[in-house]
Chains A and B, each alone.
Chain A
Amino acid sequence: MLLLPTLFGVLTLVFFLIHVIPGDPVEVMLGETANAADKAELRESLGLNRPLLTQYRTFLLDFAAGDLGRSLYERTSVGTIIGARLPATLELALCAMIAAVLISFPLAILAAVRRGGRIDRLALLFSLLGLSLPNFWLGPLLMIIFSIQLGWAPVSGRGGLSHLFLPALTLGLGMAAILIRILRASLLRAMTEDYVQTARAKGLPERRVWLKHTLRNALTSVVTIMSLQFGSVLAGSLITETIFSWPGLGRLTVQAIQTRDYPLVQGCVLVIAVSYILVNFITDLVYKLVDPRVTYGE
């Protein structure tokens, strides 16, 4: 129900923000040699001389008709430009999420099971490092180890699965660091619950107690964090995309902002907002899977 108001709010905010920050697309489009009359003429043909509220109304009407406009520089439809970049972003976000889950779940479960032990300390150290190391440092480090020294993966660029390994790992390690902490804490909390004691008293094997009763109940908070992380990766991971020459939405958005390409900025932000909304919707569905007690109103 909140989908439309959220979209409307985001579109309104981005429209006014991009128009009020300093910088003029006409200056960039016509170059430094154009005279004031040419600039005024172009401003008029683009409708940029009209009152901001009139421009806003036109923007909303075009948007309602499914028209995101044309890029001021690439001279083609915003939808086409974003469509060319979106698969790269989705691909990277999914793989990063999978890498994060594959790293964090086993480590967090082992850390909780062996609380205070060597594995627990190792998991917490790993988590601390993952949180402390910025991607602009971690990315090149992984690149030097896995691409230059070991030759296991390509250095940068987009291609087959091998190209996904390093950028997904760079993003996934940072995400895993948070997930380990959250999941470990949730597991330890769930472990003290009565139903876990009951399961043990019933004589269930320890592995079943952990995986079926403890883990499942600990997942709710982890799913929330995962959805936030996934949303932010979909919004574009500028640093990782830049380091690995990944042609995703993050780099496109920054390029559009730098050139004050208003329609392209608006299109990018719209896609990011819709991604967040979809991720939230899917998260709500996943809550129900994780915990059947969750209800969705009447």
Chain B
Amino acid sequence: MVSQNCLARICLPCRRLVYFFPALLVLIFAACRSPSSARPPDYLVVGIESYPLQLDPRYATDANAVRIGNLIYNSLLRADQHTRLQPELAAGWRMIDATTYVFDLRHDVKFSDGRPLTAADVKFTYESMLDLKNRSPKRGLLKPLRAIEQSGAYQLRFHLAAPHAPFVEQFTQGIVPADSVAEGATNYQSPAGSGPFRLQAVEPGEKVTLQRNPYYWDERPPLPGVVFKIVPDALVRVLEFEKGNIDFMQNDLEPDMLPWLKNNSAADVAAYAGTTFQYIGINLTHPILKNVKVRRALAYAIDRESLVRHLLKDTGTVASGVLSPLNWAYDDHAPRWPYDPNRAKQLLDEAGFPDPDGAGPLPRFRLSFKTTNIDLRRRIAEAIKEQLQQVGIELEIRSYEWGTFYSDIKKGNFHLYSLAWVGVMDPDILFQIFHSSSVPPNGDNRGRYVNAEVDRLLERGRATIEPAERKRIYGEIQRLLADDLPYVPLWWWKNVIVKKPSIKNFTPYPDGDLISLKHIAVQ
């Protein structure tokens, strides 16, 4: 207990300090804090929604971390704007048999600290990801890899345990120097890279600043640097753009803001075809939803054209399946399900779910629809509810924060849900989603879809190396899936770019990669 006299002795001399203490603290804080809003001269400012949690390419998984990381780190191969893999660090590469890839590295590549990049660095990068104690989230993707053999300073051989065609995608992994630490590799001390830019500064939760890499081996980037400014609120990002504090934005904008931006600002606003796929996931163990006629009725009852036009403001393209027309394996002959509510009602009648009171209020059956608590997602869910109501299906919408939502759908605790697949490149993603062995926790077959024919084709697809044969196999799979409808396809999101008209030479990438910032010039 504090005695009264003691307190009085403490308090009385401090009385004046009490009044001045807060003001003093503020002044100290303000003095300690340099005005971070000042942008370095001629740097491009890119507005992004969230802070990249980890820039080290061995651990980076969130979209912003991957996109910023692609500007800092090079990989053996890199996807171009047509999603085709092209050599980057590789001077040449070939398959000498169905399980062995040989890479010859460029001799002129240096990390941003001036050290040369050699085969030892590539070998180290992959092996450190395979080491379980490093807890790389990408370790699972490297499972087909049996060994990496270094032959000389600039040649590598990747030996796979068995033929696995989609493994080639793993050669887009960013390469770090061989002495990079694993633990404690925070954003503040991410390893050096060999990309067009290098990390200049990280202000947690605020911004990530890159500067031109003086040792970059390819064409010198016209920009001296890029600032990625974190502005979580979409409206504020638009206001910052209006004010001239942001020069460039990609996606994460409310569709309603785009017409305003087009009409009220000097912004260049454009939407480009993308590969992100939005769908409705279905629980196929549900007694009603396991009936294919009901799933087809759902597909017929949803007016995707009007959802894209009115809710998305044309920032999407109505989808016919997981793979977009930009993907080399896309099949144009898969069945489609245009909006036809009468056909939907007829199918529901045939499935044994007649409308109990015709045009009356009673539904044929009730289902729940889970979604995240993001405003646009909830509005989309409400619109789908309205459309399904027209054919007699009552939806109860349940929206949750991401962690709870994701946990529920992993467990199969849902009737219907909506989510998107981001960064779809190789069609082998279909194995992860629809193979019967991919039921969580071993994959993402959350709807518990089982089809022996699809299983067989998926296994053949990943073991086949010849591209034309793979395309034929995946075409067949897409037709089977479109007929069976374990997912109801909704749309492929477009990449929306908002930039100042003075920014030239930007090339959009279907997966939203920002690598073309290295070519940007501000005129």
Chain A residues at the B interface, C-beta cutoff of 8 Å: 1, 21-24, 27, 29-36, 38-39, 41-42, 45, 70, 73-76, 80-81, 84-85, 87-88, 90-91, 94-95, 97-98, 140, 143-144, 147-148, 154-164, 242-245, 247-248, 251-252, 255, 257-260, 285-286, 288-289, 292, 295-298
B4 A163 Cβ-Cβ under 8 A: no
B140 A34 Cβ-Cβ under 8 A: yes
Known: A247-B203, A288-B11, A298-B1. A258 touches B403 (CB 8 A): yes
B26 A32 Cβ-Cβ under 8 A: no
Beyond the given pairs A29-B137, A34-B140, A164-B26, 13 more chain A to chain B contacts, judged by CB atoms under 8 angstroms and listed by A's residue number, are A34-B137, A39-B441, A75-B59, A97-B22, A148-B243, A154-B37, A155-B239, A157-B229, A251-B205, A251-B232, A258-B403, A289-B18, A296-B4
B239 A164 Cβ-Cβ under 8 A: no
Which of B27-35, B294-302, B466-474 is near enough to bind chain A? B27-35
Best-buried of A1, A45, A76, A144 by chain B (most CB within 10 Å)? A76
Q: Is B272 an interface residue (CB 8 A)?
A: no
Option from A31, A80, A88, A295 in Cβ contact (under 8 Å) with B61: A31
Known: A73-B53, A298-B3. A156 touches B140 (CB 8 A): no
List of A residues within 8 angstroms of B402 by Cβ: 258
List of A residues within 8 angstroms of B410 by Cβ: 27
Option from B4, B23, B33, B236 in Cβ contact (under 8 Å) with A155: B236
A22 B407 Cβ-Cβ under 8 A: yes
A91 B232 Cβ-Cβ under 8 A: no
List of A residues within 8 angstroms of B502 by Cβ: none
The complex places the Cα of A94 from the Cα of B401 at a distance, in Å, of 31
List of A residues within 8 angstroms of B137 by Cβ: 29-31, 34
Residue of B with least CB distance to A242 = B232
Q: Is B230 an interface residue (CB 8 A)?
A: yes
Min Cβ gap B494→A in Å is 24
Best-buried of A32, A97, A258, A285 by chain B (most CB within 10 Å)? A32
The complex places the Cα of A245 from the Cα of B45 at a distance, in Å, of 15
List of A residues within 8 angstroms of B30 by Cβ: 91, 160-161, 164
A32 B3 Cβ-Cβ under 8 A: no
A-B contact pairs, 9 of them (CB 8 A): A33-B141, A35-B441, A38-B139, A90-B29, A160-B34, A242-B233, A248-B205, A251-B232, A296-B4
Q: Is B343 an interface residue (CB 8 A)?
A: no
Residue of B with least CB distance to A249 = B205
Option from A23, A24, A81 in Cβ contact (under 8 Å) with B204: A81
Residue of A with least CB distance to B438 = A32
Q: Is B133 an interface residue (CB 8 A)?
A: yes
3 closest A-B pairs by beta carbon, nearest first, are A247-B205, A23-B403, A22-B407
Q: Is B186 an interface residue (CB 8 A)?
A: yes
A23 B239 Cβ-Cβ under 8 A: no
List of B residues within 8 angstroms of A258 by Cβ: 401-403
Min Cβ gap A52→B in Å is 17
The complex places the Cα of A1 from the Cα of B187 at a distance, in Å, of 40
List of B residues within 8 angstroms of A244 by Cβ: 236
The complex places the Cα of A83 from the Cα of B32 at a distance, in Å, of 15
List of A residues within 8 angstroms of B204 by Cβ: 81, 84-85, 247
A143 B239 Cβ-Cβ under 8 A: yes
Residue of A with least CB distance to B400 = A22
One digit per residue, 1 when the CB lies within 8 angstroms of any chain A CB and 0 when it does not, for chain B 179-221 equals 0000111110000000000000001111100000000000000
List of B residues within 8 angstroms of A288 by Cβ: 7-8, 11
The complex places the Cα of A147 from the Cα of B235 at a distance, in Å, of 14
A29 B135 Cβ-Cβ under 8 A: yes
List of B residues within 8 angstroms of A81 by Cβ: 204
Which of B404-425 touch A at CB < 8 Å? Answer: 404, 406-408, 410
Q: Is B255 an interface residue (CB 8 A)?
A: no
Q: Is B523 an interface residue (CB 8 A)?
A: no
Best-buried of B35, B53, B232 by chain A (most CB within 10 Å)? B232
Known: A84-B204, A245-B230. A148 touches B239 (CB 8 A): yes
Q: Is B242 an interface residue (CB 8 A)?
A: yes
Min Cβ gap B148→A in Å is 19
List of B residues within 8 angstroms of A34 by Cβ: 137, 139-140
A289 B15 Cβ-Cβ under 8 A: yes
The complex places the Cα of A263 from the Cα of B90 at a distance, in Å, of 41
The complex places the Cα of A95 from the Cα of B30 at a distance, in Å, of 11
Residue of B with least CB distance to A24 = B407
Q: Is B432 an interface residue (CB 8 A)?
A: yes
A257 B403 Cβ-Cβ under 8 A: yes
B132 A155 Cβ-Cβ under 8 A: no
The complex places the Cα of A170 from the Cα of B23 at a distance, in Å, of 19
Min Cβ gap B368→A in Å is 16
A155 B243 Cβ-Cβ under 8 A: yes
Option from A33, A76, A98, A157 in Cβ contact (under 8 Å) with B432: A33
A286 B139 Cβ-Cβ under 8 A: no
List of B residues within 8 angstroms of A245 by Cβ: 206, 229-233, 236
